[in-house]
Chain A
Amino acid sequence: MTSMTMAKALNEGLRRSLDRFPKALMIGEDIGKLGGVFRITDGLQKDFGEDRIIDSPLAESGLVGVGVGLAMRGFRPICEIQFDGFVYPAFDQIVSQVAKQHARTSGAYKMAMVIRIPFGGHIGAIEHHSESPESYFAHTAGLRVVSPSNPHDAYWMIQEAVACDDPVIFCEPKCRYWDKGDVDETNSGLSIWSAAVLREGSDVTLVTYGPSVKTALHVAEVAATEGRSLEVIDLRSVAPVDFATVVASVEKTGRLVVVSEAPSTASVAASVVATVTERAFYSLRAPALQVTGYHVPYPPSRIESHVMPNTDRILDAVDRVMEFES
């Protein structure tokens, strides 16, 4: 076990991937000498060279679009998008080429690509730096979408994403980059595609991912002081979702609250509620609730803590599912 930040864990995981796969390479803006604006790639160019750690021209569609061609040539490109709000210029390449190339070529070309996106709020940033775009990608067949919530998962999940022969949108909760945690460098534990039950409970299943996992664990602590037993599930992979784990939990607790920073409409959170309702309808003792960002553009940062899913809003939802009477 080594204690390190998520930023360091990602750096170490990337380093191991670059060692393991000679054809793995990185392309992104400012990832070379600077080490990325969040320093996730710190020192990698020095150790792996400019041909493998490529400072990209300032063009997101470009750096993803050339990634597609590199993947066709047999490379494993790891593309870095600097901030969530800057991924949209690359949306066309991601949806039209990255997601579909394997199908369009009847399997001739695997898109063994990772597109890393620092996402989510709570860093006091100006606009376009705090968004949660994961649902756009979760909706797209051909892509996989994951988000680690802690350093151990970050270390292993980035390695599994690089090793995956499908394209993986790797959403990094940037507000957790500097949180420390224990990393077991000898044992990965759960597969990247499995959800993790981080805390067992009997009254309510609290499902979330990425930046909201820490919040959810805190909520469970607070709820316990009020005599309520919450089971906290970290989805880890949001596309596909490990529904077996989620449904088994709901069958036990009978209540579900799903939390995400992304607004609810057509989102990962809404999809979890819909599928659990379908598969565990007779186990539910109350309507499944969502605590998400409101359907507005991300708020000015001075008030973000009030309007994003926070302890109060999640506890309120827990109260509502506990007090529901049919």
Chain B
Amino acid sequence: MKEVPAVQLLTPEGLRVEHDEYACSLNAEEIFGLYRDMAIVRRICHEATSLQRQGQLALWAPVQGQEAAQIGAGRAMAPKDFSFPSYREHGIAWCRGIPPTDWLRLFRGVSMGGWDPVQYRHSVPTIVIGNQVLNAVGYAMGIQRDGAEEAVMTFFGDGATSQGDVAEGFGFGAVFNAPIVFFMQNNQWAISEPTSRQTLIPLYHRAEGYGFPGIRVDGNDVLAVYEVTKRALDNARAGAGPTLIEAFTYRMGAHTTSDDPTRYRVDAEVELWKHRDPVERVKSYLIREHQMSPKKFEEVAAEADQMAAELRVNVLSMPDPEPLSIFDHAYAEPHPLVEEGRRDLADFVGGAS
């Protein structure tokens, strides 16, 4: 598919470019903060992949290549906003303040969620593709009924746009004018299927059919993603309804640690996208335009290494849940089958010890 122009404020080489509608509102230190976010998330992600390879995680969904899309979007959110991720939104989890150890609980197999969604205003991961888009629209309809000035952002991929729930989410969001931002990361691949198997038109065009704005942003340009998302969230809070953002990016790694991308895509494509790397791009910009010293970047690398080491210790010492805990939250109110099951398993667990 032919690439169409996307909003861009930073070229792949790290040069600032002007855009007619979007200016960069961040100063050098703030941009360095975004660099730090991306570098840490990438390092944590590498550590998680290693932990999976060493048998310490059941699975991991790498985010490498999509750091700018997620950090730009995550940092554009206000603390009072609420987000609904799929399962690859580690960068959003970072921006919401969720400790990296908690991101790995689901993948370690010790939790179905991993964090308190109320505390962090970030829902637990959704594995069934597209479900969360409808849930997010419902939450946004609740915000409307509460008369609150908050927005919801939901994350999904190019593959998810083929799901009925995403289409229905667009429809509900549109007709109820819900305060929601549909943030799509088009990373070009739904496991082994290219975007051309999901759509014949650029995906952001879908919005037009529903009657709200759609925009494509260079998903590897953290400055552009930040500005585009910030405006969409502002519009949502102000009652202007939904926006569909297509962050045009690339999944540099495998779909998950169970995947083998060499079976379905060519090295040349991966090489092409390496030149658009989101982390190196902003680093080049900061060095060239703001003369930031190498020492600052080394400090971030050391900080990230330290966090990765702590993560490793935390994961290796993560206890298995108590077997009887499976009964704790199946229902909110007392349930006879749950109590029977609890007594039954208690006998077995007790007998084994």
Could you list which residues of chain A lie within 8 angstroms of chain B, going by C-beta atoms? 25, 51, 56-57, 59, 61-62, 64-75, 77, 89, 92-93, 96-97, 100, 102-112, 141-142, 144, 164-166, 240, 243
Assess whether B123 is interfacial by the CB under 8 Å rule: yes
Residues 103-152 of B contacting A (Cβ, < 8 Å) = 111-113, 116-118, 123-124, 126, 128, 131, 133-146
Assess whether B348 is interfacial by the CB under 8 Å rule: no
Measured in the bound complex, the distance between the Cα atoms of B146 and A72 in whole Å is 13
In the assembled complex, the CB of B299 is this many whole angstroms from the nearest CB of chain A, namely 36
In the assembled complex, the CB of A91 is this many whole angstroms from the nearest CB of chain B, namely 12
Residue pair B332, A165 in contact (C-beta under 8 Å): yes
Instruction: Contacts A57-B175, A102-B331, A166-B333 given; indicate if A70 touches B139 (C-beta within 8 A).
Output: yes
Q: Which of B112, B138, B328 contacts A67 (CB 8 A)?
A: B138
Residue pair B131, A92 in contact (C-beta under 8 Å): yes
B168: which A residues are within 8 A, CB to CB? 57, 59, 61-62, 65
Total CB contacts across the A-B interface at under 8 A:
135
Q: Which 8 A-B pairs have the closest CB atoms?
A: A69-B138, A65-B134, A73-B142, A66-B138, A62-B168, A69-B139, A165-B332, A69-B135
Assess whether B329 is interfacial by the CB under 8 Å rule: yes
Task: Pull 7 A–B residue pairs with CB atoms less than 8 Å apart, ordered by A.
Answer: A62-B169, A64-B134, A70-B138, A71-B138, A108-B118, A109-B117, A165-B332
Q: Can you name 20 extra interface pairs (CB under 8 A) apart from A92-B128, A107-B328, A166-B332?
A: A57-B168, A61-B134, A65-B134, A68-B134, A68-B138, A70-B138, A70-B139, A71-B138, A72-B135, A73-B142, A77-B138, A103-B330, A104-B124, A109-B117, A112-B332, A141-B330, A165-B332, A165-B333, A240-B336, A243-B336
Residue pair A103, B329 in contact (C-beta under 8 Å): yes
A142: which B residues are within 8 A, CB to CB? 330-331
Measured in the bound complex, the distance between the Cα atoms of B140 and A256 in whole Å is 50
Residue pair B171, A166 in contact (C-beta under 8 Å): no
Q: Which of A59, A74, A89 contacts B172 (CB 8 A)?
A: A59
Nearest to A112 among chain B residues (CB) is B332
Measured in the bound complex, the distance between the Cα atoms of B134 and A68 in whole Å is 8
B79: which A residues are within 8 A, CB to CB? none
Residue pair A93, B145 in contact (C-beta under 8 Å): no
Assess whether B17 is interfacial by the CB under 8 Å rule: no
Residue pair A73, B124 in contact (C-beta under 8 Å): no
B136: which A residues are within 8 A, CB to CB? 69
Instruction: Contacts A73-B142, A107-B328 given; indicate if A240 touches B135 (C-beta within 8 A).
Output: no
Residue pair A73, B164 in contact (C-beta under 8 Å): no
Task: Produce 1/0 per residue, B308-334, CB < 8 A to A.
Answer: 000000000000000000001111110
Q: Which of A74, A92, A111 contacts B165 (CB 8 A)?
A: A92
Measured in the bound complex, the distance between the Cα atoms of B337 and A146 in whole Å is 16
Q: Which of B138, B329, B335, B337 contacts A73 (CB 8 A)?
A: B138
In the assembled complex, the CB of B122 is this many whole angstroms from the nearest CB of chain A, namely 11
Measured in the bound complex, the distance between the Cα atoms of B117 and A110 in whole Å is 12
Q: Which of B123, B144, B172, B329 contacts A102 (CB 8 A)?
A: B329
Nearest to B125 among chain A residues (CB) is A104
Measured in the bound complex, the distance between the Cα atoms of B335 and A17 in whole Å is 23
Residue pair B124, A105 in contact (C-beta under 8 Å): yes
In the assembled complex, the CB of B157 is this many whole angstroms from the nearest CB of chain A, namely 18
Instruction: Contacts A165-B332, A240-B335 given; indicate if A72 touches B139 (C-beta within 8 A).
Output: yes
Nearest to B331 among chain A residues (CB) is A166
Residue pair A25, B145 in contact (C-beta under 8 Å): yes
Instruction: Contacts A68-B138, A69-B136, A73-B146 given; indicate if A61 touches B330 (C-beta within 8 A).
Output: no
Q: Which of B128, B142, B172, B331 contacts A62 (CB 8 A)?
A: B172
Nearest to A193 among chain B residues (CB) is B336
A104: which B residues are within 8 A, CB to CB? 112-113, 124
Residue pair B143, A73 in contact (C-beta under 8 Å): yes
Residue pair A62, B146 in contact (C-beta under 8 Å): no
Measured in the bound complex, the distance between the Cα atoms of B332 and A144 in whole Å is 11
Q: Which of A93, A110, A240 contacts B134 (CB 8 A)?
A: A93
Instruction: Contacts A166-B331, A166-B333 given; indicate if A65 touches B138 (C-beta within 8 A).
Output: yes
Nearest to B139 among chain A residues (CB) is A69
Instruction: Contacts A104-B112, A240-B335 given; indicate if A75 touches B142 (C-beta within 8 A).
Output: yes
Residue pair B172, A66 in contact (C-beta under 8 Å): yes
Q: Which of A72, A106, A107, A109 contacts B111 (CB 8 A)?
A: A106
Residue pair A75, B172 in contact (C-beta under 8 Å): no
Measured in the bound complex, the distance between the Cα atoms of B135 and A100 in whole Å is 13
In the assembled complex, the CB of B125 is this many whole angstroms from the nearest CB of chain A, namely 9
B118: which A residues are within 8 A, CB to CB? 108-109
In the assembled complex, the CB of B59 is this many whole angstroms from the nearest CB of chain A, namely 16
Nearest to A56 among chain B residues (CB) is B172
Measured in the bound complex, the distance between the Cα atoms of B335 and A165 in whole Å is 12
In the assembled complex, the CB of A300 is this many whole angstroms from the nearest CB of chain B, namely 30
Q: Which of A51, A66, A105 contacts B117 (CB 8 A)?
A: A105
Instruction: Contacts A89-B164, A240-B336 given; indicate if A72 touches B138 (C-beta within 8 A).
Output: yes
B113: which A residues are within 8 A, CB to CB? 104-106, 108
A164: which B residues are within 8 A, CB to CB? 333
In the assembled complex, the CB of B341 is this many whole angstroms from the nearest CB of chain A, namely 9
In the assembled complex, the CB of B154 is this many whole angstroms from the nearest CB of chain A, namely 10
Task: Produce 1/0 per residue, B155-183, CB < 8 A to A.
Answer: 00000000011001101100100000000
Measured in the bound complex, the distance between the Cα atoms of B176 and A57 in whole Å is 10
Task: Produce 1/0 per residue, B175-201, CB < 8 A to A.
Answer: 100000000000000000000000000
